[in-house]
């Protein structure tokens, strides 16, 4: 029991001395610190004996101190952008940290990480400052090295005065490397070599004779279309004449009382019939068979034109207007004029 306590106390004294950068063998012992060193050497409960091995922990601390000294002594080399010594030190520290189980080793790892972080920050600032500057001489030197410049010493023997010559394919090598810096279309080439590209012999074009339409088709089709056009035109003319007859019959019964235009064309039972009545009535007004005027209240009225009202040649002044109607206004007109039945009967009712 006393041997183990002495061994543990000796390990703690050695590690405490080396952590401050001094040799721990020649440092005198302090009786007041013996109890604390025993507690630290024993380690917390719950750690295996292998992880709490003093020899193994001493080896880990020694490697950490070596890395810290290496970072402090080789500070200028690690700040050089041309090498990766700082990265190698961090990778080595990561390997050591995998075996860290105690607080003392973790404190050394944190100390190393602080030093590496400061160096990394300073190195990054140097890279940013150097990246913004362009050195033409250094660029020309790298370019000549890439092109394979063969250097020859000057006959005078002066240092730094070097001459040389470029190999035969130096510029072709530079041009090939520069192609990757520009987005250009690749040159066209044949995979199996070149060949004589002769146009193929022209083929004789055989014109197919179009099939002429038969005489019966020529005779039937226009006849059908003509009959359809005539049928629609005749239906419109008959409807216009029918509406004119209705207006003349109403006007003959009482020629003194004006006939309201809305009461004449509005069909309270059918909106579509109302639109058709307005359409057909417009032909009567256009042809001068019916006239429209405003009564004392400013409402439009309609009346047939007598034979003597318009002179020969139709010299009367005409005014054209466009009438628009929708279902909402159609219902409002029915309510305003109190229209109960249509003055223009439907063709089906008339036929019956």
Structure tokens at 292: 């429209």
Length of the chain (residues): 352
CATH architecture of 232-308+317-337: Orthogonal Bundle (1.10)
Total Cβ atoms within 10 A of residue 330: 17
Answer whether 344's CB lies under 8 Å from 274's CB: no
What is the rounded distance in angstroms from the CA atom of residue 137 to the CA atom of residue 131?
15
Instruction: Print pLDDT tens along the chain (352 aa).
Output: 444 444 444 444 444 444 444 333 343 343 333 333 434 444 455 567 777 788 888 998 998 999 899 888 888 888 887 788 888 888 988 998 988 888 888 899 999 899 989 988 888 887 655 555 677 888 888 888 888 887 764 444 444 445 677 888 888 999 888 888 877 676 776 676 666 667 778 888 887 777 776 666 555 555 555 555 556 667 788 888 888 888 888 888 877 788 888 989 999 999 999 999 998 888 888 888 888 888 888 888 988 888 766 545 455 567 777 888 899 999 999 999 899 888 888 876 444 4
Concatenated DSSP letters for 166-209? --TTHHHHHHHHHGGGS--PPPP--TT-----PPPPPPPP-PPP
**Domain residue spans of the chain:** 54-129, 232-308+317-337
């Amino acid at each position: 029991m006393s041997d183990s306590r002495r061994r543990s106390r000796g390990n703690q004294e050695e590690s405490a001395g080396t952590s401050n950068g001094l040799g721990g063998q020649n440092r005198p012992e302090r009786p007041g610190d013996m109890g604390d060193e025993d507690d630290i050497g024993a380690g917390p409960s719950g750690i295996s004996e292998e992880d709490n091995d003093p020899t193994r922990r001493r080896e880990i601390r020694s490697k950490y101190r070596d890395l810290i000294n290496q970072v402090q002594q080789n500070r200028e080399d690690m700040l050089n952008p041309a090498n990766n010594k700082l990265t190698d030190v961090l990778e080595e520290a990561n390997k050591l940290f995998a075996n860290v189980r105690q607080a003392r080793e973790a404190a050394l790892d944190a100390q190393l990480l602080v030093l590496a972080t400061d160096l990394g920050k300073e190195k990054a600032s140097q890279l940013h400052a150097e990246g913004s500057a362009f050195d033409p001489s250094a660029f020309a030197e790298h370019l000549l090295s890439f092109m394979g410049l063969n250097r020859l010493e000057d006959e005078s023997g002066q240092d730094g005065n070097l001459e040389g010559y470029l190999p035969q394919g130096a510029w072709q090598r530079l041009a090939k490397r520069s192609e990757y810096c520009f987005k250009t279309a690749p040159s066209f080439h044949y995979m199996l070599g070149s060949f004589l590209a002769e146009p193929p012999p022209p083929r004789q074009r055989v014109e197919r004779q179009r099939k002429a339409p038969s005489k019966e088709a020529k005779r039937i089709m226009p006849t059908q279309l003509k009959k359809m056009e005539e049928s629609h035109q005749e239906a419109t003319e008959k409807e216009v004449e029918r509406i004119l007859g209705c207006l003349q019959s109403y006007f003959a019964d009482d020629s003194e009382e004006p006939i309201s235009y809305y009461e004449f064309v509005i069909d309270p039972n059918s909106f579509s019939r109302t639109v058709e009545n307005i359409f057909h009535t417009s032909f009567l007004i256009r042809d001068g068979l019916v006239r429209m005027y405003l009564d004392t209240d400013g409402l439009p009225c309609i009346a047939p034109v007598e034979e003597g009202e318009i002179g020969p040649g139709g010299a009367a002044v005409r005014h054209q207007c466009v009438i628009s109607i929708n279902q909402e206004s159609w219902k409002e007109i029915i309510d305003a004029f109190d229209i109960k039945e249509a003055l223009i009967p439907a063709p089906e009712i008339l036929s019956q």
